[in-house]
Structures are given as C-alpha cells and as structure tokens.
Chain A
Amino acid sequence: MEIVVLLKQVPSTESLVTIAEDGATIKTEDVNWIISPYDEFAVEEALRIREAVGGSVTILSVGPDKATEAIRTALAMGADKGVLVNDPAAVECDGLGTARILAAALKQMPYDLVIAGQRAVDDENFQVGPAVAEFLDIPCITLVIKEEMGDGVIRCHRTMEGGTAVLEAPLPMLFTTQRGLNEPRYASLPGVMKAKRKPLENKTLADIGLAAADFSQPLVRVTALKPPPQRSGGRMIEADDAQTKAAELVKLLHEEAKVI
C-alpha cells in the first residue's frame, strides 16, 4: 500500500497569533511551529495502515525551507520519505493553488491512498483535501473518525451534525481526518536519529511540471487582517452566597442580555 500524507506546518494552537505591521500577515518571530494537528492524525493513521498491511508512507508538503522541520518530525514518527515543494511562487497561493501543486506532485508518485487533515488550523480553508481529490479524479471522504481497510476498498466513518455516516470508497481515494481518529505517537529518540537519514526531496514548481506564472493571480486574496472584536471585559457578579449570585445571573440573562 503506497500511502501519501499531505502535511502543513502551522503555528501551534497554543500560540498567541498577532498581526504584523503590514496588516495583512502575521508576526512569525515568536511563533512555535508544529505539524497541523489534523495532519498529525493523518500521519498516525498512515503509519497504522502501513503496519497492518505493509507498504510505505510518503509525506508531501508545500512550504518554505522551514517546513522541512515538520516533515522531519513526521519521518521521526515513522514515515519513510518526504517531498517538499519549495518555490517562492507557491507562497502566495490560495487553497486551490495549493491543491493544484499537491495534485501535480502526486501525479509523479505512486499512491493507493492519500490522507490529509480536514483543514489546516491556520487558513482554516477546509478546501485542499477535496480539491486535490477532484484534480486527481479520485473519490474523497472528509471528516473521518474511523476507517476500516478492505480488499481494494476502504470504509470510512464520517462525522456529521448529530452523528456519523458510514461510507465506502474504492482505492485509490483520499480521506481527511477528524479528531478522535487516533492518538498520534511521539517521535522516539531513535526515530529522530533515523529521520535524519531518510530521503527528503525538495522540488520546485518546474520540477512537477507547473509554471510559476500560473500562481501569480490567486482567486482569493487576503486584503487585511484584524483582531476579532474584544469583549469589554466580564461583569463579575458579586454576592455573599452562590444562590444569590445564580439568581442575579439568571435575572441579567433574562432582562439585560435577553438570551433566556
């Protein structure tokens, strides 16, 4: 089974993200970078499938030099090799542009199964996985919380509002992860040592048959970033006992906030 995991390096979810002077990008100096959590589930699931049925796991990412760290972490977890599409023209991409790059890279490698995070926790697009599947003309199931590999097919449990749907797709296919799918392993020290010697290939857009000029006009352009509206600060409800506080709160929710 040839498994490819689509991975993105993002600021950690514990990071305080602040807007840079230009008003359209974020400050990156103090950011701690990690594998996007949903992509980490994808790496773990790929490793588990490989452990069960054999094969290899390739990590594929689009990003700058720094993204190498995230790929190395996935290799230290146990993935076999990495490919980074690293091209200045890819930096300003929107979700569709990224998907087009990933699909072009995938067309140059064998794959039976592609696993991606449901979304990256920076852009929050929820677009790249399904779009890659469309460009490759393979089926895609998103938000998978459980999968069962069969003979040439995979059964996926997809989360939806108020429950799950069980769906089955023929291979090759792509699925995206949902929290609950697994508990990702930590990279062991021997794993980290081994990862240093595992193959990690850098590719440019030209290497995967794409022209940089095709990515100069994204369809979605960020014009400004702004902080979310701040609350004026909590009004603390003071009283001698819990019962009085609770009664005052409910009165305020009913009469002032009018939400109950």
Chain B
Amino acid sequence: MAQTVLAIAEQAAGAFRKVAYETISTGRKLAAELGGSLTALVLGSGVQEIAGQLAEYGAERILVADDGALAEYTTEAYCQVCAAAIADLAPAVVLMGASSQGKDLAARLSARLNAALATDCVALKWQEGALQATRPIYGGKILAEVTLAGQPQMATIRPHTFEAGRASVQGTVEKIDLAVTPDRVKFIEKRMESGKVDITEADIVVSGGRGMGGDDYTVIEALAEQLGAAVGASRSAVDEGWRPFSDQVGQTGKVVSPNLYVACGISGAIQHLAGMSSSKVIVAVNKDPDAPIFARCDYGIVGDLFEVVPHITEAVRKLKAG
C-alpha cells in the first residue's frame, strides 16, 4: 500500500508562507514514521518557479497546480484541485497550515472526502496505523489527544509551532494538468495593510492591555519597531476601541505562539492567557504585583509600563547597536 503524505504548501503573492515550510518539514517527519514518501502540492498562478524551493525542506516530489483561476484563493476552486490530487495519490495523510486559508480549505475538503480532520495541531505523530494529534481546545485551556481514522487522515498545523527544518533533497517539480471549474464565489479585491506583519506570523509580539489607558500605543509601537515585532492587544483594549479587532490576542481573538511575547499592562484574564500561553518566552510588565499574568510569565517586571517600556526599547536599541 502506498503510504504517501501530501503536504499542501501555502503561498501568497508568489512567496511561500513560513507555515508552508513547517508543513513540508512536518510532512517529512510523518512520512518517515509511516515508512512512506512525501509529496508537496502548490496551488497558485505563476508559482512554477518558486515550487523548487520546497526541496530544501525535504519535498522529493513537488506537484504544481498553476492556473490563472488559482491566482487568488477561493475555497471551491482550491478544493477541487486538492480533491483531484488526493484521488490520484491516495495519500494516508494530508497536511496543511492552520492559516485562514488552510483552515477554510481543510474544512471543506474534509467534508468532500469524508475524511477525519484535526485542526490547529501542535503535535503530530503516526502511530499504530493512525495519525495521533495534539490540539488545543477551549482556547488553549486544555490540550486534547485525538486519534484519526479512515483515509486520508487530515491535519492542519498551528503556525510557528513546528520546526521548519532544512533537509535538502533532489526535488522533482511536476505540473498537474487541470481544468479548474470557475468558483461560485467571485474574488473582487484584496485590501492589505501594507508592511504589517500579522500577529499570528510574527516572531515577536508586543501587546498592550487595559493598562494603556487609551488609544495612544506609541510606547508599545516603539518597542515593537525596535524588536521587529507585531503589535497585539487584549480584549479589553479592543473592546474600548483602542486597537483593531485584527490585533486581538485571546480565546475570542487570535492565538499566537511567537518566540517572545511581551504583555504590557495586561492583567492576564483566562481569556487572554488562552491566546498566548503557547508563546516560547513570555515577559510581563504590570503595575500590579498581584496580576495573574506574573504566574504565567517567564520574566516579570512590576512597574508603570509607560516608564519601563521606553527603557526596554532603549536597552534593545543599545544591544542592537552592539
């Protein structure tokens, strides 16, 4: 029986997302565990040139669906191409990133294929003939161990959680011939906030909460700029209208797992902790020495954020200046 792992590598505007490399790398690990091979699939328009990059992360066979109709992501067109590739390959496992695109695509595809799906996984292994996944539920307050059944077994991986390990192989790029049926959903336009790194994709996130006292985030933005970080916010700051919804970290906002999370003026409500507790290192700055955030951080500073944060910014600047 062919034991293929199919890893769908997400790209945007002709460049792979970081989670695409993480997906390939995780796919390689799973392929080794089930004694099979790894095939990558890239969808888009004009993506033939970049496809070969996936070989640097261990993709031996790279399928490319290159079509004008795939230039912008729409669910059903992408779903159609993936379903056709899966019918052809009969993979044991299908992987993709748990991005806004990956989660949308995986959900529809799982229904089309009647395939088991584990969303937003933080750990995956192939054991006893089945995919075993660990995934946060209740906004990260609990981790669930789940076992999948059937074929294929699908999983989406949480961005910034799996390592994108390099493993250079000789990759072959094959173009898939296809006729994409026009999607019932019509793409009108995209409105991107230029130069803004999404908090789910950033290596470092600096967040401000109720302690900000208003919509002036200058001190937070200055530190973020110095660190090359994205700016996040707690729910109360968003509820107050100080920051946009897209910046909200928490159970009803975005879940982030950066290398460094700096919580400024955030008390640490369960709701918020759920969205950031999987960060690798957490720093908290708060006036209140009894704030619950201090029990969940790695490094804490008790003090007024408006006094402390500019000093942190300055210390980082000095460090970078060498």
Please determine whether A96 and B100 come into contact, CB atoms closer than 8 angstroms. no
State the CA gap A12–B75 with chains docked (Å): 31
Please determine whether B260 and A259 come into contact, CB atoms closer than 8 angstroms. yes
Q: A147 contacts which chain B residues (CB < 8 A)?
A: none
Interface size, B (range)? 35 or more
| A-contact 0/1 string along B54-75, CB 8 Å cutoff | 0000000000000000001111
With an 8 A cutoff between CB atoms, is B163 at the interface?
no
Q: B118 contacts which chain A residues (CB < 8 A)?
A: 220
Please determine whether B185 and A223 come into contact, CB atoms closer than 8 angstroms. no
With an 8 A cutoff between CB atoms, is B101 at the interface?
yes
Q: A190 contacts which chain B residues (CB < 8 A)?
A: none
Please determine whether A139 and B298 come into contact, CB atoms closer than 8 angstroms. no
Please determine whether B191 and A166 come into contact, CB atoms closer than 8 angstroms. yes
State the CA gap A17–B280 with chains docked (Å): 23
Contact A122 B138, CB 8 Å, known A94-B116, A140-B108: yes
Shortest CB-to-CB span from B59 to chain A, Å, is 22
Please determine whether B108 and A126 come into contact, CB atoms closer than 8 angstroms. no
Please determine whether A227 and B142 come into contact, CB atoms closer than 8 angstroms. yes
Interface of B is mostly: mixed
Q: A249 contacts which chain B residues (CB < 8 A)?
A: 283, 299, 301, 312, 315
With an 8 A cutoff between CB atoms, is A22 at the interface?
no
Tally chain A residues at the interface, Cβ within 8 Å: 84
State the CA gap A125–B314 with chains docked (Å): 42
Shortest CB-to-CB span from A132 to chain B, Å, is 8
Please determine whether A227 and B143 come into contact, CB atoms closer than 8 angstroms. yes
State the CA gap A146–B21 with chains docked (Å): 32
State the CA gap A233–B297 with chains docked (Å): 6
| B-contact 0/1 string along A137-164, CB 8 Å cutoff | 0011111010000000001001111111
Please determine whether A165 and B72 come into contact, CB atoms closer than 8 angstroms. yes
Contact A246 B101, CB 8 Å, known A220-B146, A228-B278: no
Stretch of A55-63, A71-79, A81-89, A250-258 contacting B (4+ beta carbons < 8 Å): A250-258
Stretch of A44-52, A201-209, A235-243 contacting B (4+ beta carbons < 8 Å): A235-243
What total of A-B pairs shows CB separation below 8 Å?
A: 276
With an 8 A cutoff between CB atoms, is B150 at the interface?
yes
With an 8 A cutoff between CB atoms, is A14 at the interface?
yes
With an 8 A cutoff between CB atoms, is A134 at the interface?
yes
State the CA gap A178–B63 with chains docked (Å): 33
Please determine whether B192 and A162 come into contact, CB atoms closer than 8 angstroms. yes
- Looking at the complex, which one of B115, B246, B299 makes contact with A234 (CB distance below 8 Å)? B299
Shortest CB-to-CB span from B246 to chain A, Å, is 6
Shortest CB-to-CB span from A150 to chain B, Å, is 12
With an 8 A cutoff between CB atoms, is A213 at the interface?
no
Please determine whether A127 and B119 come into contact, CB atoms closer than 8 angstroms. yes
Interface residues of B in 277-322 (CB under 8 A from A): 277-278, 280-284, 294-304, 307-308, 311-312, 314-316, 319
Closest to B114 in A: A96
With an 8 A cutoff between CB atoms, is B210 at the interface?
no
Interface of A is mostly: mixed
Closest to B244 in A: A180
Please determine whether B294 and A221 come into contact, CB atoms closer than 8 angstroms. no
With an 8 A cutoff between CB atoms, is A26 at the interface?
yes
Shortest CB-to-CB span from B218 to chain A, Å, is 17
State the CA gap A11–B274 with chains docked (Å): 14
With an 8 A cutoff between CB atoms, is A222 at the interface?
yes
- Looking at the complex, which one of B75, B196, B246, B301 makes contact with A140 (CB distance below 8 Å)? B75
Please determine whether A246 and B138 come into contact, CB atoms closer than 8 angstroms. no
Please determine whether A13 and B270 come into contact, CB atoms closer than 8 angstroms. yes
Q: A160 contacts which chain B residues (CB < 8 A)?
A: 99-101
Please determine whether A220 and B148 come into contact, CB atoms closer than 8 angstroms. yes
Shortest CB-to-CB span from A168 to chain B, Å, is 5
Contact A219 B116, CB 8 Å, known A121-B252, A253-B283: yes
With an 8 A cutoff between CB atoms, is A53 at the interface?
no
Query: Can you report 21 residue pairs joining A to B where beta carbons are below 8 Å apart?
Result: A13-B271, A95-B119, A96-B117, A121-B138, A124-B137, A140-B75, A140-B108, A142-B104, A160-B101, A161-B99, A165-B190, A168-B185, A217-B149, A219-B115, A221-B146, A242-B303, A242-B304, A245-B311, A249-B312, A257-B299, A259-B204
Known: A96-B114, A131-B110, A165-B72. 7 other contacts (CB 8 A): A130-B104, A139-B76, A155-B188, A219-B116, A220-B118, A231-B282, A242-B304
